Structure 1
Amino acid sequence: MLSKLSLHPKKKPFKLPIKVGIVGMGKMGGIRYEEATKNPNLSVAALCDVVPGLEKTYPDQIIYDDYRKLIVEADIDAVIICTYNHIAPQVVKAALKAGKHVFCEKPPARTIEEMLSVIEVEQAHPELVLMYGFNHRKHYSIMEAKHMIDAGHFGNILWMRGVYGKAGGLYYPDSWRNDLELSGGGILIDQGIHMVDLFLYFCGDFQQVQSLTTNSYWQVPVEDNAFAILRNDNNQVALLHSSATQWKHTFSLEICLQNGYINLNGILSSTRSYGDETLTYARREFENKTRSLGKPREETIYFGIDDSWRLEFEDFVAAIINDQPLASGNSADALRALALVHQIYANSPV
């Protein structure tokens, strides 16, 4: 399924800045708008949302209430998509067919079939860039961990244990994210897909999946907890807990390697509710060397800035203007993450 996805786009020349239209001006659309206005190579030319009132918030922008009109009528080179999950694949395909580069928020689609239909259109337009927003890869703690692992400082990965959870909240049951038709799933496809993507980033594909999804508290039509044990052909194991009943917001990724470990705790989210972003590492120490079995000397690095949104747009811009493939966040990465999410869903007995 993935063998067809090695795309090497042939870019057409154009004048800077890249003129963009943003479809979907909710929370994520607002974040992407602010970041786009900070990038000297991007210029926001139009906005679109079905909710009225954007004219008051963005008086200097051209406003549309139909994404199809924005794509056809606005003077733009690219479309940034921050819509509900059920409509995102349609917007991506329409933009690509109209000759626009596309940046789309995760998840890429509700189903694998929807995603494959997007890739079919993408392959018909190799001159265009299609990128998906998995911004956790661009957090400095994640990038530092990746560098340490790739440099071989602690040997190969043995196992990973990831917990990503939030508390839901009073209005959580009424969120569109818990409407199966709109979202395609619950907390796993919404937030847990970030941790799934990081598992793939560090270890590659997983071939074996055991899982359990539950609806233990919120009584919504989708899961509020997902548990999974994954194993790949290199005998590397990853354990996942994605939760909407984590009463203290938590991001934790433990990576155990042959000669040490790397623990990532906290993530500098837009709400800043997941605590400080830190990376703690240590080399394995047995008692024959230090007489301190199980208490290795640790070092902790603190990260105080979240540049993930900026760095993603820099990759997007570079792919467009420099005739280079995306380093990450391409449709193949997005499909792998979505496919593994659906393997977790499919293997749950509930």
Structure 2
Amino acid sequence: MRVGVIGSGLQASRRLPAIAAHLRTCGVVIAGEEPASVELLASAHAAVIVPTWHHVIDDPSIDIVVVCTPPGAHREIVEASIRAHKHVLCEKPLTRRSADALALAQLAEDNGVLLKCGFNHRFHPAVLRAKQEIDAGRIGRPLLMRGLYGIGGRPGIEREWRSDANVAAGGQLMEQGIHLVDLIRWFGGEAVEALGMTATELFPIHPLEESGMAVLRGESGYLATVTSTLLQWRNTFELTVQGEDGYLEIRGLGGSYGDETLTVGARDDVAPFNEHLTYFRDKDKSWVKEWDHLVAAVNGEVPLMSDARDGAQAMLIVEEACRSQTRAHPIRHLTKGI
């Protein structure tokens, strides 16, 4: 199948090696707004450069469009791709607003094409193994989940598109924390309540948040916390799940986030603590595995995972958590005698 990649930034550089090397890929075209980076990616992966993203959409030989632009451009490009009857992989967040993402999900269904949200974290080996453990009943029903995903903000981050409120879908909670929201939903089921708070105290990116925290309640009764921040001076990814019969802990993503590990332990009220720790030492293959999955789904071999409705719902949860601040009640300062 032939693939069109739109965008030439970091995400395109992560996606293209998996796309170009896939056995079912018979050609790649690329369009982007930065000629130097487009040329670099095209030459590295034998891709054909076209002038604009419209040329990608208008090419009848393109089967799948991969959207790697900033979120401000997602809706227009994805909608045009769907109307041209292309399957689409779009980076998260799908759009700048969850309502638009939901509309795109419906449009894809109406046109009989697949629209996948780019949630590559589902394809990390520790995450996949954790999902298998949960589905097998190893730890029982998830009751409490805690997630932390943080990086140290870069000098000059205020000049990046991620800090432009007219382009980005939100701050750090939406940009990075949404991965945790997606995994919590995947592990524990739908979230039905969300509360949150955000802050921006160090980096000049207001009104976007540099740090955000959300508390979720699941339909099944679980509680979950999500923390995402630009103030994590050592890059960190952690997700723990406490179940009725045991627990699991995912730490690291490889690279700057440290070794990727999964710890699984059983609940035992009397025996010494005993747990199993697995190190996943290979390089990050989540991009490859996500692309393998999409190709298989397009060919009708597997149901699509992390589809557009997953992407829209994760966005809605983050939006609701952020909106809840306007309904928060200030704590009355207590003084002696009250």
Which of these residues, 55, 65, 79, is aligned with residue 39 of structure 2?
55
Moved more, 272-281 or 110-119: 110-119
Determine if contact 1:261/1:282 at 8 Å carries over to the other structure.
yes
Q: Name the CA distance, whole Å, in 1 between partners of 2:193 and 2:114.
A: 32
> In 2, Cα distance between the equivalents of 1:184 and 1:131?
18
* CA deviation vs aligned residue, 1:304-346 (integer Å, no higher than 9, x gap): 22221111111111112236531x1211111111111111111
- SS of residue in 2 equivalent to 1:348: helix
Q: For residue 260 of structure 2, what is the aligned residue in structure 1?
A: 277
1:342 aligns with 2:325: no
Cα distance between partner residues in 2 of 1:199 and 1:55: 39
The one-letter code matched in structure 2 to 1:309 is: W
- Of 41, 50, 56, the residue aligned with 1:70 is 56
**Correspondence for 2:336:** none
Aligned-pair CA distance for 1:142: 0.6
Alpha carbons 1:276, 1:302 under 8 Å: kept: yes
Task: List per-residue Cα deviations over 1:203-248 (Å, max 9, x = no partner).
Answer: 1111222211111211212001111111123221001111111111
Task: Indicate which of 131, 138, 141 corresponds to 1:146.
Answer: 131
For 2:63, give the aligned amino acid. Answer: D
With over 3 angstroms needed to count, the CA separation of the structure-2 counterparts of 1:217 and 1:204, relative to structure 1, is same
Q: How far did residue 74 of structure 1 move?
A: 6.7
Name the structure 2 match of 1:219: 204
Pairwise CA distance, 1:43 = 3.0
Alignment correspondent of 1:257 = 243
Deviation at 1:61, TM superposition (A): 3.2
Query: Is this contact kept in 2: 1:155–1:258, CA < 8 A?
Result: yes
CA distance in structure 1 between the aligned counterparts of 2:302 and 2:126, rounded to whole angstroms: 26
Residue 106 (str. 1) matches residue 92 (str. 2): yes
**Aligned partners of 1:207, 1:56: CA distance in 2, in Å?**
45
- Please give the alpha-carbon distance, in whole angstroms, between the structure 2 residues aligned to 1:93 and 1:134: 19
CA distance in 2, matches of 1:55, 1:209: 44
The equivalent of 1:22 in structure 2 is: 5
Indicate how the Cα distance of structure 1 residues 277 and 57 shifts in structure 2: closer, same or farther if over 3 A, else same: closer
1:138-160 deviations in whole A, cap 9, x for unaligned? 11101111111111122111100
Question: Distance in 2 between the 1:345 and 1:114 partners?
Answer: 18
Structure 1 residues 147 and 73, CA, compared in 2 at 3 Å: closer, same or farther?
closer
**Equivalent pairs: percent with the same residue?**
31
Gap runs ≥5 in structure 1: 1-17
- Tell me the TM-score normalised to structure 2 length: 0.91
Partners of 2:220 and 2:291 in 1: CA distance: 34
Q: Is the 8 A contact 2:102 2:308 kept in 1?
A: no
Partner letter of residue 307 of structure 1? K
SS at match of 2:191: coil
1:125 aligns with 2:108: no
**Offset, 1:279:** 0.6
Q: CA RMSD in A?
A: 1.7
Please report the TM-score for the alignment, with normalisation by the length of structure 1.
0.88
Counterpart residue number, 1:36: 19
Q: Which amino acid aligns with 2:64?
A: A
Deviations 1:140-194 (A, max 9, x none): 1011111111111221111001000000111222211011111121111111110
The residue type paired with residue 227 of structure 1 is M
Q: 1:154 to 1:323 in 2, by over 3 A?
A: closer
Residue 215 of structure 2 aligns with an amino acid whose one-letter code is I
